Amino acid sequence: MSEIENHQNLAKAVARAMKKKGWEIIFPTINIEEYDFTAVKGEIRAVVQVKNWKRTVGVPQIRKFIEFLKLPMGKQFNRGFFITTSDFGKAAITLAEQKGNKPIQLALFKNKRLKILTPNNSKDIKIATNKDGKTYIGVFTCKGGVGKTTVSAHLAGALALMGYDVALIDLDPQRHLNVLLPEGIYLPRKPPNLGSTINVFNYDEYDPSFKEKFVICDCSPDFQNNPPEIMEKLNYCIIPTMLNPLGLNKNGHVIVSTLEKIRSLNKNAYLMVLVNSLYNEKTTELIRVLKKEYQKLFKKLETKDGRFRFIDPEECAIRFSKQLFYWGSHIYMGGESELAFKTIGGRCLPKEDFLRLVEYLEESTQIGQFKLL
């Protein structure tokens, strides 16, 4: 049977399962690429997309679905169903659950049955851990102001949105995390789950017996000031950089030497260079040229070290966003500590990007080694 026929049969089987649950099903009269059918129940007019996939559905696919619901073609719907025969990642489920968008329901279709997924019934993320069961992530930099503190805090935020408690360790003598989140963050969750917490510690205040499953370090730019006993424990090291020509010229070799220093203390960690403040959502010619230059710079290291990767910004990057730019305004506005995770007009770029970053860490771990470019 051809793939198209297969897909059509699958869509029909899903429609039958939904009909049994009281949905009225309307198949489009012409073949539409964007969705499979409409399901109506009372006031609900849902668009249904069915995927006959083997791969796990991730953040980029959910992002695309959220976008579709905003297009003129998506305006007629007030809900979306994304249904697959494969599976969903926890980050994708967390993104679909966010308020501010039209409600999106994710479901698995297996053995002719539909199973709706929520963060509460989704599987744990598959991530590297230490013997103590915790995952340690270091965020490094070669120069100030590239987003080390922003990335540390919001990566913690993405993990907390997924239901994990996170300890943020402030190793940078500037103590920005302590200034920005002195009383930490509490993210409530739907009962019966408890909310998740982000707590900030100085190195001497942190004890590995604390409850947090994730430990994220905002590392000192002065490499030797980072305690070696924590450097050895890191499962992941992230070096944010900006995709800009001067940044590359001035900092390229410093990034390489930072990576070498980390590696001399830690043979196992996944090391990755992450593009922050990516300016354009679309791939412009300039981004393409810069990306090539960066890839050239890191090629040698990637060939030598199977656990080092310059993350292709088209796969995963932190985009420039005003929310991140103005992050910290709570200090001046007299409010409580917060992260830049407010949904505005149905979107929150930081939330999408940092959930994708967690997913990227998971993907890297499953491959074991990065695929060579």
**DSSP H or E segment with residue 360:** helix 349-367
Should residue 327 be labelled a site residue for ligand ATP when binding is judged by CB under 6 A? Answer: yes
**C-alpha span between 221 and 235 (Å, rounded):** 19
Strands 270-276 and 56-57 turn out to be unpaired
Q: Which residues are 187's β-sheet partners? A: 196
* Among residues 27, 210, 279, 325, the one that binds ligand ATP under rule CB under 6 A: 325
| String of DSSP letters for 215-257 | EEEE--SSGGGS-HHHHTT-SEEEEEEE--HHHHHHHHHHHHH
Minimum separation from the CB atom of position 370 to ligand ATP (A)? 23
Minimum separation from the CB atom of position 147 to Mg ion (A)? 8
Q: CB-wise, 51 or 154, nearer to ligand ATP?
A: 154
Q: Which two tokens stand for residue 21?
A: 């649950």
Which parts of this chain interact with Mg ion (CB under 5 A)? 148-149, 176
Q: Pattern of binders to ligand ATP over 19-38, x per CB under 6 A?
A: --------------------
Q: CB-wise, 163 or 350, nearer to ligand ATP?
A: 350
Binding part of the chain for ligand ATP, among 2-10, 29-37, 122-130, 313-321 by CB under 6 A, reads: 313-321
| String of DSSP letters for 184-200 | -EEE--STTSPPEEEEE
Q: Which two tokens stand for residue 130?
A: 């230490």
**C-alpha span between 38 and 46 (Å, rounded):** 6
- Is the peptide bond preceding residue 192 cis, with omega within 30 degrees of 0? yes
Binding part of the chain for ligand ATP, among 13-21, 26-34, 73-81, 169-177 by CB under 6 A, reads: 169-177
* Among residues 98, 241, 276, 364, the one that binds ligand ATP under rule CB under 6 A: 276
**C-alpha span between 193 and 248 (Å, rounded):** 45
Helix, strand, or coil (residue 310): strand
Q: Which of residues 113-152 bind ligand ATP (CB under 6 A)?
A: 141, 144-150
Q: CB-wise, 55 or 250, nearer to ligand ATP?
A: 250
> Tokens 């001399």, residue?
264
Helix, strand, or coil (residue 309): strand
Binding part of the chain for ligand ATP, among 29-37, 49-57, 259-267, 319-327 by CB under 6 A, reads: 319-327
* Among residues 186, 203, 223, 320, the one that binds ligand ATP under rule CB under 6 A: 320
Q: Which two tokens stand for residue 311?
A: 């993350």
* Among residues 97, 165, 172, 212, the one that binds ligand ATP under rule CB under 6 A: 172
Should residue 68 be labelled a site residue for ligand ATP when binding is judged by CB under 6 A? Answer: no
CA dihedral 115, 118, 123, 126 (to 10 degrees): 130
Q: CB-wise, 57 or 357, nearer to ligand ATP?
A: 357
Q: CB-wise, 14 or 153, nearer to Mg ion?
A: 153
Q: CB-wise, 173 or 368, nearer to ligand ATP?
A: 173
Report the sign of the C-alpha dihedral through residues 303, 308, 310, 311, in that order.
Answer: positive
Minimum separation from the CB atom of position 321 to ligand ATP (A)? 5
Question: CB-based burial of residue 228 (10 Å sphere; 0-12 exposed, 13-18 middle, 19+ buried)?
Answer: exposed
Minimum separation from the CB atom of position 270 to Mg ion (A)? 22
R_g over Cα of the chain: 22
Minimum separation from the CB atom of position 151 to Mg ion (A)? 9
Q: CB-wise, 53 or 326, nearer to ligand ATP?
A: 326
**Contacted by 146, from Mg ion, ligand ATP, none: CB < 5 to 8 Å by type:** ligand ATP
Q: Which two tokens stand for residue 76?
A: 């007629």
Should residue 277 be labelled a site residue for ligand ATP when binding is judged by CB under 6 A? Answer: yes
Minimum separation from the CB atom of position 272 to ligand ATP (A)? 16
Q: CB-wise, 125 or 340, nearer to ligand ATP?
A: 340
**C-alpha span between 355 and 306 (Å, rounded):** 24
Q: Give me the residues that bind ligand ATP (CB under 6 A), please.
A: 141, 144-150, 172, 174, 176, 276-277, 318, 320-321, 324-325, 327
